[in-house]
Amino acid sequence: MIYQALRVGLLAVILALLVSDHSLAQSARPQQLKVAVSTATPHNTPLWVARDKKIFDKYGVDVQMIFVMGGALVSQMLAAGEIQVAANAPAALVSLIAGGTDIAMFLGISNTSPFSLITQPNIKTAADLKGKRLGTARFGGSSHVSALIALDHLGLDAKRDKILIMQTGLDPERMAALEQKGLDAAMLQRLATKTMLAKSYTQLLNMNQAKITYQNTVLASRRDQMTANPKLFDSFVRAVVEGYAYVFNKDNKQAVREVIAKNLRLPNADAAEDFYVEALEELDRKPYPTVEGTKTVIKYVSEQNPKVASVKAERIVDSSWLKKLDDEGFFEKVYRSK
């Protein structure tokens, strides 16, 4: 009788230990987070570093990063719940938000436009651009909105000045169209700009150097996803910020160039030098998304979609995740430790 009682008690203890071990294993298992990136550009370097250098693993987040061609498709995937985080242009998000999808932009990956307005060698002034053809990528995307902002900054208006804005593919396609005289001007990013300037093409405007307020790329999520998984998103944001610290540490230059070369499919780290410099120029040490930059996006996208005019930048920009880290001294900690 006593033996049977002891046996039952021992089995209960073993079962309890097994359940406890299983619970601990479950809690220790990294939580999965699907992140979609819409463009292969250097400002995504902190994300690549956080993944390739196992920083996400350190914070217990299993980040599944996928590349999806086109910001519009990434936005639709976010709205449908197929991904939890989008690294995307706000220009591709605000139309969905205007339609009722509750999306929050919680980190500003790129808080300035990386584009320059490059023209044929014979076009030297803004006035020379009147009646000409200007190439961008997709309508409503970052390069298209940047084109509208650039024209405005130069005192031009596409309709009034009969400037034809054309969808002509990514940088390589736009460069080829310039050389074949199929375009008079194009919006190009840093490396493409450098290449065309070496061939005597004209730079009418460098938007980064002009310090034009613009929210180019953000990390965004549906608000219900964030409120349902606050610990997961907190860990994710911490890992990304540590990725920033890794990138900005000059001792890591070679390692960062190797990460860029791998993700941009370049032949070696030396080929990534220009992209490394571009990343340092474009990234902010504290990557808060900006309300003013988002207002600029809303202003120009609403010209194509009037419903977007009702979107309030203050509502969709959520700085609380970064502010929490700022208040507890997390930025100082990771930058000092790096």
- Residue 4's pLDDT is 52
Q: What is the pLDDT of residues 233-252, one digit of tens each?
A: 999 999 999 999 999 999 99
pLDDT bin (cut points 50, 70, 90) of residue 3 is very low
Average per-residue pLDDT in the chain? 89
More confident residue, 153 or 15: 153
- Residue 330's pLDDT is 97
Q: What is the pLDDT of residues 122-149, one digit of tens each?
A: 999 999 999 999 999 878 778 888 999 9
More confident residue, 39 or 29: 39
Asked whether the predicted pLDDT for residue 338 surpasses 80, the reply is no
Asked whether the predicted pLDDT for residue 86 surpasses 50, the reply is yes
pLDDT bin (cut points 50, 70, 90) of residue 38 is confident
Dist. CA 107–CA 240, nearest whole Å: 9
Please list, residue by residue across 7-21, b when 16 or more beta carbons sit within 10 angstroms of its beta carbon and e when fewer do.
eeeeeeeeeeeeeee
Q: What is the pLDDT of residues 43-53, one digit of tens each?
A: 999 999 999 99
Mean pLDDT of 177-193: 94
Asked whether the predicted pLDDT for residue 306 surpasses 70, the reply is yes
Asked whether the predicted pLDDT for residue 10 surpasses 70, the reply is no
Angle between helices 320-327 and 330-337 (to 10 degrees): 70
Token pair of 121 as six digits: 């060698």
Residue 334, class by beta-carbon neighbours within 10 Å (0-12 exposed, 13-18 middle, 19+ buried)?
buried
In the three-class reduction of DSSP (H, G, I as helix; E, B as strand; rest coil), residue 128 is classed as: helix
Mean pLDDT of 176-194: 94
Q: How far is CA 182 from CA 30, 151, 167, 168, 174, in A?
A: 51, 20, 12, 10, 9
Least-confidence region, from 91-95, 106-110, 148-152, 262-266 = 91-95
- Residue 265's pLDDT is 93
Asked whether the predicted pLDDT for residue 16 surpasses 60, the reply is no
pLDDT bin (cut points 50, 70, 90) of residue 337 is low
Handedness of CA 91, 92, 95, 97 (dihedral sign): negative
- Residue 115's pLDDT is 92
Mean pLDDT of 65-77: 87
Token pair of 273 as six digits: 């030098």
Q: H/E element holding 202?
A: strand 202-206
